[in-house]
Amino acid sequence: MRASRLLTIQMLLQTRGRMSAQALAQLLEVSVRTLYRDVDQLTAAGVPIYAEQGRNGGFQLVEGWKTTLTGFTASESQAVFMSGLAGPATELGLGQQVVDAQLKLMSALPVHQRDGAQRVQARFHLDPADWYREADPVPHLATVAAAVWQDRQLNLRYDSWKAEVQRTVHPLGLVLKAGVWYLVATRDAQPRTYRISNILGAELLDKASARPKRFDLPAYWTESIQRFEAALYQGHAVVQATTQGVKQLRQLSSAVAKAVVAQAPSIQAGETVRLKIPIETLENASYQLLRMAPDVQVLSPVALRRAIAQRLKAIQACYADNL
């Protein structure tokens, strides 16, 4: 703990220049007396720190003394700072480690590269959560992450769409998609995906997990999404859409957006275009497409038109007294 604090003092002075004892102590969450003892230990170890008295005084490294990190280009250092996502790192229990790592990197960069790295930190922010939705509670994420990092088996109590189940799995990796955390793990030697917010209990087992040779997490995730969408969309609908309707369809889902773009509709205001789009169940499609009327009109299948008409009758019955 103290060794880490001593290194942090050195990095802070190297990146920020002169700092008062009070400012250093506050950042390190220690007393000023402890801070003075730490500085004495650093100087005894050969780190050239000197103090200046007065109103603007403080501790400072001898000019020109630094540790230089070699091998990083300016663009590479900027990319490293862009990848330090504070929110997800905090959820994984690594928030402070990310901050410390960035500080160490900043202090080791040549002076002419620091401005670019600091500019990225100040001008780039990633919010992975979707609009109008709170992030899922993930009380067991830290335990799951530990199993992933340490290659240990995990005993899960999981709320699947069928029932609550007990599973022992071999963790392979974590995925964060649109603010939702997923665990990819093998069970019965087959990779499977578990939504971490659905984990009701997690126990880290003292058994090594088995990882398939050449397992590629990004490749598996891409393939699983494609399989999911293929199974999700059970049919197609033909619709007539205005320019506003085309915009609404493109926002419905990635699969629908791809279908719309592939047909490359080019229409002017006041015109309509006929499009073929993928749909899920009739019930789901009737709900989604009814909201887009009159900018999107379903032409086929007939069963979907009937489902929308039935939904309209049910809505009318709810508000009959006000008509």
Average pLDDT of the segment spanning 4-24 = 85
Q: Which of 104-108, 293-297, 313-317 has the lowest average pLDDT?
A: 104-108
* Closest of 273, 279, 212 to residue 243, by C-alpha: 273
Residue type for position 28: L
CB 191 within 8 A of CB 202: no
* Domain residue spans of the chain: 2-61, 74-123, 141-222, 233-322
Question: What topology is assigned to 141-222 in CATH?
Answer: SH3 type barrels. (2.30.30)
* Closest of 75, 68, 67 to residue 117, by C-alpha: 75
What are the distances in angstroms from CA 276 to CA 110, 192, 270, 309?
56, 32, 20, 20
Q: Check residue 231 and give its pLDDT.
A: 83
Is a pLDDT exceeding 90 seen at residue 87? no
Q: Check residue 98 and give its pLDDT.
A: 67
pLDDT tens digit sequence for 190-220: 999 999 999 999 999 999 999 998 899 999 9
Question: What topology is assigned to 2-61 in CATH?
Answer: Arc Repressor Mutant, subunit A (1.10.10)
CB 257 within 8 A of CB 250: yes
User: Which pair of structure tokens corresponds to residue 154?
Assistant: 């995990």
Q: DSSP for 216-263, please give it.
A: -HHHHHHHHHHHHHHHH--EEEEEEEEHHHHHHHHTT-HHHHHHHHHT
- Provide the phi-psi class of 188: left if phi over 0, else alpha when psi is between -120 and 50, else beta: left
Residues whose CB falls within 8 Å of the CB of residue 219, separated by 6 or more in sequence, listed in order: none
SS3 letters for 48-72?
CEEEECCCCCEEEECCCCCCCCCCC
* Long-range pairs for 116-119: beta carbons < 8 A, 24 or more residues apart: 116/74, 116/75, 116/77, 116/78, 117/77, 117/78, 117/80, 117/81, 119/78
Residue type for position 61: L
Q: How confident is the model at residue 144 (pLDDT cuts 50, 70, 90)?
A: very high
% of the chain with per-residue pLDDT over 70: 82
pTM over 0.75: no
Average pLDDT of the segment spanning 119-131 = 71
What are the distances in angstroms from CA 85 to CA 94, 96, 99, 176?
10, 11, 10, 11
